[in-house]
Amino acid sequence: MKNISILGATGSIGISTLDVISRHPEKYNVFALSANSNWKKMEQLCAKYVPKFAVMANEEAAESLRKVAPTEVIVLQGEEALNDIASHQNTDFVMAAIVGSAGLSSTFAAANSGKRVMLANKESLVLGGNLLINASTDSGAELIPVDSEHSAIFQCLQGGEDGLNKIQLTASGGPFLTTPLAELDKVTPKQACNHPKWKMGQKISVDSATLMNKGLEVIEAHFLFQLSPSKIEVVIHPQSIIHSLVYFNDGSVLSQLGLPDMRSAISYALSYPSRQTSGVEALDLTKQSSLEFLLPDMDRFKCLGLAYDALEQGRSVPGTLNAANEVAVEAFLNKKIGFLDISKIIEKTIATTPISSLDTLASVVENDHLSRKIAQSLIKQSHS
Ligand code: NAD
Ligand code: MG
């Protein structure tokens, strides 16, 4: 029986994780759950799963939850409590599914304490890069990708990396793949979040519409698989059936296919190296009318180019790219800036923020804060 702590339990990945876990009660126990402020959803989860700990980031939400949660559940609050459940001696596996840099500290806490870290929070790797990889190696933590593309590559590499030539990350292209360029400045947050294939949280949905999600995934793949940027390609595949490809130097290409449902990747991260049922239906290729593949249009998807540039520059630049993106996406969701302003704010933030080498978690956090401030002031300036 493995004790599971789910960080970001009320989100899209958190709920899918609980769904997979519920199918295998003999293997997994819900040990701890965390969320930001949605205590009502957390109340339901506590009633159903009765975890030992429930952590709310928000203080008032923790207060509200304390009044209604089952008495067996210990309700805690704040980042330190989050780090405690991630590194708790009774936690075996941690699902790192908080969105954005808010997940950094708890992901590191899990990695530093030798857990199996099921990594959905790609932002941690974009920010922390080799620091997170080294922390995992030093503590003996297993870093298992949950992002569907990286899970696909991880699965394809189970036979070994000998002869690996390059990898290709597939991208659906999001809701604006064919929208006329002249109309992109008028698209709304609602349209941006209406992803054609995947049902996800708002932030990653907007990232999928700009293709910044794929850009972050290129950086994630660089650190996870230790590949140079020239060995990581992106191909648009609107049907989201092929989840990524690995090219070998004998001409062979391996790939993992499946319906677009995150439970496959989540289930594999839980059961690795074995497999188990996940609730995902079997793929029937005879029901797929066609599978298409196109090169990304770098004029339409400027964020993808910015992410490749940030990776080439290295040091603090990927962290700055991520911080500026988080700030710009939030401003877009709050209708403070337009869709096309997202890449402009990121580009300007990178040009303005001093580059530093990030050798400690504290320096990563400092750069994140500085970059956010700069991005926020650029957004303010654009309004004055
Ligand atoms: P979501 O918005 O649906 O859920 C986010 C979760 O994080 C919620 O439980 C929320 O309470 C919690 N959270 C938010 N801010 C917090 C804070 N400041 N402190 C503590 N907790 C906080 O997001 P999601 O779609 O589930 O994505 C989660 C992560 O997984 C992201 O990093 C995303 O890139 C990655 N991911 C998601 C998908 C997907 O299909 N949804 C696929 C691949 C990767
Ligand atoms: Mg992905």
pTM of the model: 0.97
Q: Tell me the C-alpha distance between 79 and 248, whole Å.
A: 43
- What per-residue confidence (pLDDT) applies to 197? 82
- What per-residue confidence (pLDDT) applies to 121? 98
For the chain, the straight-line distance linking the first and the last C-alpha, in angstroms and rounded, comes to 58
How far apart, in Å, are the Cα atoms of 333 and each of 203, 313, 324, 347, 383? 8, 29, 14, 19, 16
- What per-residue confidence (pLDDT) applies to 382? 85
Per-residue pLDDT of the chain (384 residues; tens, 9 = 90+): 999 999 999 999 999 999 999 999 999 999 999 999 999 999 999 999 999 999 999 999 999 999 999 999 999 999 999 999 999 999 999 999 999 999 999 999 999 999 999 999 999 999 999 999 999 999 999 999 999 999 999 999 999 999 999 999 999 999 999 999 999 999 999 999 998 887 899 999 999 999 999 999 999 999 999 999 999 999 999 999 999 999 999 999 999 999 999 999 999 999 999 999 999 999 999 998 899 999 999 999 999 999 999 999 999 999 999 999 999 999 999 999 999 999 999 999 999 999 999 999 999 999 999 999 999 999 999 877
Q: Tell me the C-alpha distance between 8 and 298, whole Å.
A: 33
- What per-residue confidence (pLDDT) applies to 276? 98
Q: Which atom in ligand 1 lies closest to the alpha carbon of residue 100?
A: 32
- What per-residue confidence (pLDDT) applies to 383? 78
Q: Residues 6 or more apart from 331 whose CB is under 8 A from it? A: 337, 341, 345, 379
Q: Are 167 and 233 in contact (CB under 8 A)?
A: yes
The CB-side HSE value for 85 (13 A sphere, CA atoms) comes to 31
Q: In terms of Cα–Cα distance, which of 240, 282, 86, 255 is closest to 157?
A: 255
- What per-residue confidence (pLDDT) applies to 248? 98
Which of 98, 122, 267 has most ligand 1 atoms within 8 Å of CB, for mutation?
Answer: 98
Q: Tell me the C-alpha distance between 47 and 68, whole Å.
A: 9
Q: Residues 6 or more apart from 127 whose CB is under 8 A from it? A: 101, 104, 318, 319, 322, 364, 368
Ligand 2 centroid vs 61 CA: distance in angstroms? 30
| Ligand 1 site, CB within 6 A | 8-14, 35-36, 38, 57, 97-99, 102, 120-123, 147, 198, 200-201, 204, 262
Q: Which atom in ligand 1 lies closest to the alpha carbon of residue 200?
A: 41
Helices (H) and strands (E) in the chain, counts: 15, 11
What amino acid is encoded at 350 in this protein?
Answer: I
Which of 119, 127, 200 has most ligand 1 atoms within 8 Å of CB, for mutation?
Answer: 200
